[in-house]
Amino acid sequence: MKTIGFVGLGKLGLPVALAVESKGYKVCGWDESQKVREGICAKKIPYNEKGAQEALERSEIELPRIEVLVQKAELIFVAVQTPHQAKFEGIEPVTGWRQDFSYGFLESAVRQVCRELVKQNLKRTVVIISTVLPGTLRRLVFPIIEQEGATEHCRLVYNPFFIAMGTAMQDFLEPEFVLVGVNQKEPAEELKSFYRTIHRRPVYATTVENAELIKVIYNTYISTKIAFANTVMEMCHKLPNTDCDEVVEALALGTQRIISPAYMKGGMGDGGGCHPRDNIALSWLARNLDLSYDWFDSIMRARDQQTHYLAKLICNYRARYDLPIVLMGRAFKADSNIEVGSPARLLAWYLKDKEVPFEVYDPYFEDAGKVPDGQPSIYFIATKHTDWKSFKFPATSVVLDPWRYLKSEARRCDCIYVPIGGR
């Protein structure tokens, strides 16, 4: 049975490694972070990832040094981070400054693998899954392979995943499609054969540069849909007898031209470790390419202004009712304890900028604070946690809900319920 190797066992690499192991493969992995390795050895995942904790408890994943991993693994996935600065994650408003991702971790990982392949005279298919901008592998990674004399040893494939943090295992095992960027036929066929043992979803093979572009454009297209749906939400909040959910439900029926209802839901902006930062990176690329119009900047500006609008709305209700403010949630998505790129944090930034006092409550964080028992407040549903369905809001409170998430529950409590963009 094949052994599959993973260089990088963070929020992407480890869940995927566990998913691959669940299909009967032997898996070995390496991460430069001692904290990550210790967590794996202790069988403890510090973030919410559906099915991952249970899979890790059953796992027999090995953690050899990189030289042993290269020797054992017949297929090597490189899943190291390509980070952006924190200011580009979507938790602060965008500025006029733009920047590409940082590729230091990726370059170092590829160099280590290439050196070991040459040293041990091995030939392996190396699969990079880290997000990069178009042209990056040709500019930075292929030269490393040549510099290390590993051209005959390292068969490089670009295989970025379309997965979400929190459901990475499920998304890997049941994807819409698999994207493969390759310059050689042999490693492409090897990877296709591997995926046929995982699922029966289509594999789309193209050039490395096309694959680089498809990955980031996929993410930013989702951001476009969310910004559009949030525009509808704001319009419906200001127009009488309109309802955001009914408007987008009708649009979702236009499957021949509008495509699909996925992400077409007014609420908070998009978040996570991919979407905001990918938009900003593509905005940087748009400026470098001197595009006639920076579409990606517009997406981020819309996200900022829509969140600013919600902050002003909270302030208006505070002035009207003279109640304290509680933001319900700080994670980037429902039932998660990951706050990278969270629109809830961007909302908090705007309130701080206005010098408005507020509290944050989120049961998925140990330091998330506590809601004062029985104290009426203005509660803003910043993250759509399922916990809020059973949360007892104190009587005479004001509940602001940009998701229209608690419509049915609101009838059972003595609160002023405001379904933003709804009726």
* Low-confidence residues of the chain: pLDDT under 70: 1, 258-259, 261, 263-264, 273, 368-373, 410-412
Say what the pLDDT of residue 194 is. 95
Please name the helix (run of DSSP H) or strand (run of DSSP E) that holds residue 399, with its range, or none: strand 398-401
- The answer to whether the CB of 25 falls within 8 A of the CB of 1 is yes
Q: Specify the residue for token string 């209700």.
A: 317
- Write the Ramachandran bin of 90: left for phi over 0, alpha for psi from -120 to 50, otherwise beta: left
Confirm or reject CATH 3.40.50.720 for domain 218-419, answering yes or no: yes
Per-domain residue ranges for the chain? 3-205, 218-419
- CA dist., res. 2 & res. 8, Å (int): 19
**Which residues have CB under 8 Å from 180's CB, separation 6+?**
157, 158, 159, 188, 191, 192, 203, 204, 205, 206, 211
Same fold, 3-205 and 218-419: yes
pLDDT of residue 277: 78
d(CA 91, CA 306): 13
> pLDDT value at position 234?
82
With a CB cutoff of 8 Å and minimum separation 6, the contacts of 287 are: 98, 294
Q: What is the pLDDT of residue 370?
A: 67
Helical segments of 100-207, H only: 104-119, 136, 142-147, 168-173, 185-196
275 Cβ partners below 8 Å, 6+ apart? Answer: 90, 219, 220, 222, 223, 341
CATH 3.40.50.720 fits 3-205, yes or no: yes
| pLDDT at residue 125, rounded to an integer | 95
Phi, psi of 67 (to 5 degrees): -65, -35
pLDDT of res. 128: 97
Question: What pLDDT does residue 291 have?
Answer: 77
Q: What is the tens place of the pLDDT at every residue in 113-145?
A: 999 999 999 999 999 999 999 999 999 999 999
